[in-house]
Amino acid sequence: MTTETRTRTTPEAGLAATMAEIGRRAREAAAALALAPAGARARALQAAAAAVRARAAEILAANAEDVAEAKRAGIGAALVDRLALDPARLEAVARGLEDIAALPDSIGRVLADWTRPNGLRISRVSVPLGVIGIIYESRPNVTADAGGIALKSGNAAILRGGSESFYSSRALVAALRDGLRVADLPEDSVQLVPTRDREAVGMMLKMSGIIDVIVPRGGSSLIELVQRESRIPVIAHLEGLCHTYIHRAADPKKARAIVLNAKMRRVSICGATETLLVDRAIAATILPAILADLRARGCEVRGDPETLAIEPLAVAATEEDWRTEYLDAILAVRVVDGVVGAIEHINRYGSHHTDAIVTQDEATAERFLREVDSAIVLVNASTQFADGGEFGMGAEIGISTQRLPPRGPVGAAELTTYKYLVRGDGQVRP
């Protein structure tokens, strides 16, 4: 970033200077962005979508470079597929930005207001968090989503993408910055860390006073690194070890459809069910059809002894299976002692992400909703609904599994904080 240096610097010192400059620019941009009208932020997002379309050839060429490097490095086909953009995927990126633009504004909402006996009028109003550092892996569309959501909520973003998608991310950020320029907002509202040097992540985690919040989005080793090293508050997205419990009063048809969808619609997302719990009272009658459905779709079943007695083709589950997020076509199945047994199992082995019950009995449903200690608890619906879009929040930056807010799906409205405005008429405190 510095155009001239008088003394030779080590690579670390050079990177440190670069990161400091990025931080300075981000803070300046955040201050301006926080005061920009909602209209300007929405215009920037629409213009960014147009720029993604206008720069399509350039973005796809940059992506081809990433893909070629990935293949040379011998990265597996599934990862290469996640990395690759094509005109249809790029159009989805542009439409995603337009969808974010169309969401209601998340800044300046009056979250509560009241008047005190002394006449002070107090209101709590949503404001941006400030500068958000987003650290993520591989998929280039996250660059557009994360940058777009941050912008929508009035935050400046420092993006550190996966090194595999470096060129794609750079091209996408150029489009986001086009949009900012068109709307007369500071370009530095969205910046990409301009190096694949891993040191940069460590430096971001220590930029307290500059970066207000770190959002890691990736595998558990990334999240653990961030939680261990960060001196900045983190919005963490840990694993989704999700359960579906079939209660004795379940509608068998609904149970069958929900389990199949919860496990197999997409096996690699955090809302996919990993463990099926079945009420002992109906296990023998309901499990055969459910497991046949799963087998027909290529799903491996790992069962406890009672499940094995019903379904001899299943593999025996070990203790480890109750603790495993497969993200694959594998389902652990356990027979439990009613809703109490189900809740105990979930609170003990789950990751407090998303869990569901299937039942027609309202009292049991309400008990499950109350006693399962997870970010999302569902009745008679698939755990795969754990998604900001499905919640109506527009794009999401992930599902937070931490306890302090934001918990659950994190969209633009959740990337805000608030301040208190107090309007008086000369009051002094007695």
* Residue closer to a second copy, measured from CB, 161 or 408: 408
* Minimal distance, residue 100 CB to a second copy, in Å: 18
* Residue closer to a second copy, measured from CB, 127 or 327: 127
* Minimal distance, residue 9 CB to a second copy, in Å: 28
In a 3-state reduction of DSSP, which class is residue 347? helix
**Interface with a second copy includes 361 (CB under 8 A)?**
no
**Interface with a second copy includes 382 (CB under 8 A)?**
yes
**Interface with a second copy includes 99 (CB under 8 A)?**
no
* Minimal distance, residue 379 CB to a second copy, in Å: 5
In a 3-state reduction of DSSP, which class is residue 178? helix
**Interface with a second copy includes 417 (CB under 8 A)?**
yes
**Interface with a second copy includes 227 (CB under 8 A)?**
yes
* Residue closer to a second copy, measured from CB, 316 or 421: 421
* Residue closer to a second copy, measured from CB, 61 or 420: 420
Q: Which of 1, 35, 284, 315 binds a second copy (CB under 8 A)?
A: 35
* Minimal distance, residue 283 CB to a second copy, in Å: 20
d(C-alpha 397, C-alpha 344), whole Å: 30
d(C-alpha 386, C-alpha 376), whole Å: 7
Q: Which residue has the tokens 């930056």?
A: 397
* Minimal distance, residue 76 CB to a second copy, in Å: 27
Stretch that binds a second copy, among 74-82, 127-135, 215-223, 319-327 (CB under 8 A): 127-135
Pairing mode of beta strands 300-303, 315-316? parallel
CB count within 10 Å of CB 184 equals 11
Residue 168, C-beta contacts closer than 8 angstroms, at least 6 positions apart? 59, 62, 63, 66, 83, 85, 140, 143
301 and 294 Cβ atoms separated by less than 8 Å: yes
* Minimal distance, residue 425 CB to a second copy, in Å: 6
In a 3-state reduction of DSSP, which class is residue 199? helix
Stretch that binds a second copy, among 31-39, 78-86, 289-297, 304-312 (CB under 8 A): 31-39
Task: Looking at residues 140 to 159 of the shown chain, list those that interact with a second copy (rule: CB under 8 A).
Answer: none
**Interface with a second copy includes 288 (CB under 8 A)?**
no
273 and 331 Cβ atoms separated by less than 8 Å: yes
Stretch that binds a second copy, among 4-12, 41-49, 69-77, 385-393 (CB under 8 A): 385-393
CB-count burial class (<10 Å; 0-12, 13-18, 19+) for 402 = middle
**Interface with a second copy includes 265 (CB under 8 A)?**
yes
Residue type present at position 105: D
Total binding residues for a second copy by CB under 8 A? 69
Pairing mode of beta strands 156-160, 242-246? unpaired
101 and 46 Cβ atoms separated by less than 8 Å: yes
Beta-carbon-side half-sphere exposure of residue 328 (alpha carbons within 13 Å): 10
* Residue closer to a second copy, measured from CB, 306 or 390: 390
d(C-alpha 152, C-alpha 146), whole Å: 10
Pairing mode of beta strands 156-160, 131-136? parallel
Residue 390, C-beta contacts closer than 8 angstroms, at least 6 positions apart? none
* Minimal distance, residue 170 CB to a second copy, in Å: 29
* Minimal distance, residue 197 CB to a second copy, in Å: 25
Q: Which of 71, 206, 231, 297 binds a second copy (CB under 8 A)?
A: 231
- 201 backbone dihedrals φ, ψ, rounded to 5°: -65, -50
Q: Where are the alpha helices (DSSP H) in 103-165?
A: 141-152
d(C-alpha 347, C-alpha 243), whole Å: 10
d(C-alpha 155, C-alpha 103), whole Å: 16
* Minimal distance, residue 338 CB to a second copy, in Å: 17
* Residue closer to a second copy, measured from CB, 53 or 109: 109
* Minimal distance, residue 72 CB to a second copy, in Å: 37
* Minimal distance, residue 212 CB to a second copy, in Å: 5
CB count within 10 Å of CB 320 equals 9
Site string for a second copy, 315-354 (x = CB under 8 A): --------------------------------x-------
Q: Interface residues with a second copy (CB under 8 A)? A: 31, 34-35, 114, 116, 120, 122, 127, 129-130, 208, 212-213, 227-228, 231, 233-235, 251, 253-254, 257-258, 260-262, 265, 347, 365, 369-371, 373-382, 384-385, 387, 390-392, 402-405, 407-409, 417-429
